Amino acid sequence: MKRSPALAAAGVATLVFLYLPILILIVFSFNASRYGAAWHGFTLDWYRRLLENKSILASTENSLLIASCACVLSTLLGTLAAVAQGRFAWKRLGLLEGMFFLPIVIPELMMAIGFLLFFGLIGLRQGLGTLIVAHTTFDVPIVWLVVRARLKKLDPRLEDAAMDLGATRWMAFRKVTLPLLAPAILGGALMAFAISLDDFFISFFVSGPESTTLPVQIYSMLKFSIDPQVNALSAALFVASMSLVVLAWVLQGGESHAH
C-alpha cells in the first residue's frame, strides 16, 4: 500500500473532480453561443461586455473598497491586540480570547443575523459602512491569530538584549520585534483582504440596495439572469484567487527556506 498506483489514481481523480467543473466554466466563457452549452465558436465578447457592465464594475469597486478598509482596520486592531497580549503580562485573558475566537468558531449565518439585527435595531442604514464594520469584525481574529502565532515563536530575550545595549523599550520593539513580525502582519493582512473579497454569506445580510459586493451581485445574477458573462466573471475570479493562493504559498515557502 506504500505507493500503489490505485491510490495515486484515486488521488488524481479527486483533484479532477475538484477542478473539472471550474475548468469547464472557463472553457465556455469563450463560447460564442448566448444560450446553453453548445459550442458555437471562440469569442472574447463576454469579457468585453463584462468590462462594460456598469453594475459589475460598481460592485467590484465596492468589494475592493470594503476589503481594503476592513483590511487596514483589522490589521491595526488585530496587531495591536496581539502585541498587547504577547508582550505584556496579563492575569486573566481567557474570556477576551474567547471573544476573539468567536467569529472563527461561530457559523457565518449566526454572525450575519447578529449584524442584521444590530444594524436594524440601532437604525443604521445598510450600505458601505455596515459592510466595512462587518468585514472588519470577521477579519480582526484572522490577523490577531497570525500575528500572535508569530509572536509566540519569537525569543523575548532579543528585546531584552537590545534594552541591555541601551535601547528603550519602544526602540527595542520598533527595531527588533516589528521587523521580525512584519511578514506575519503582511500575511495576516493579505488573508484578511482575501477573506473579505470572498465573503458572500455575511455581505448578503448587511449590504444595501446601492452597495452590493461582487459576490452578492453574482448571486443575484445566478438567481435571475444567467448569461455567459457569469462564466467570464467566474473565470476571472478563479484566476484571481488562484494567484493569491499561489502568491501566499510562494511567500510562505520563501520563509521556511530562510530558517
Partner 1 sequence: MKVPLKARLLLPAAAWMALFQLLPLALIVLVSVCMRGQYGGVQWRLAFGSYGRILDPLYVPVFSRSLAQALLATALCVLLSFPISYWMARLEKRAQGVAVLLVLIPFWTNILVRLYAWMFILGRTGLVNSAAAGLGLWRDPLEMLFSQKSVLLGLVYGHLPFMILPLYAALEKIDWGLVDAARDLYASPAQAFLKVVLPLSKPGLIAGSILVFTSIPCDFATPDLLGGAKNMMVGNLIQQQYLVVRDWPFGSALSLFLMAGIGVGVFAYLRQERAAA
Helix, strand or coil, per DSSP, at residue 79: helix
Min dist. Cβ of residue 7 to partner 1 (A)? 5
Sign of the Cα pseudo-torsion (64, 69, 72, 76, in order): negative
Cα–Cα distances in Å, from 257 out to 2, 180, 188, 252?
28, 15, 20, 9
Beta carbon nearer to partner 1, 180 or 238: 238
For residues 73 and 165, the answer to whether their CB atoms sit within 8 Å is: no
Smallest distance, partner 1 to C-beta of residue 118, A? 4
**Looking at beta carbons only, is 73 or 162 nearer to partner 1?**
73
Q: How far is the CB of 167 from partner 1 (least distance, A)?
A: 17
Task: Quote the least distance from Cβ 171 to partner 1, whole Å.
Answer: 15
Backbone dihedral region for residue 229 (phi beyond 0: left; psi -120 to 50: alpha; all else: beta) = alpha
Question: In the structure grid, which three cell numbers stand for residue 189, read together?
Answer: 493582512
Of 223, 221, 143, 217, the closest CA to residue 186 belongs to: 143
| Length of the chain in terms of residues written | 259
Query: At its nearest, how many Å lie between partner 1 and the CB of residue 234?
Result: 4
Min. distance of Cβ 235 from partner 1 in angstroms? 9
Distance of closest approach, residue 25 Cβ to partner 1, in angstroms: 5
Specify the 3-state DSSP secondary structure of 208. coil
Q: Which position has the grid cell 519569537?
A: 154
Which among 129, 139, 118 has a CA at the least distance from the CA of 190? Answer: 139
Phi-psi region of 36 (alpha: psi -120 to 50; beta: other; left: phi over 0): left
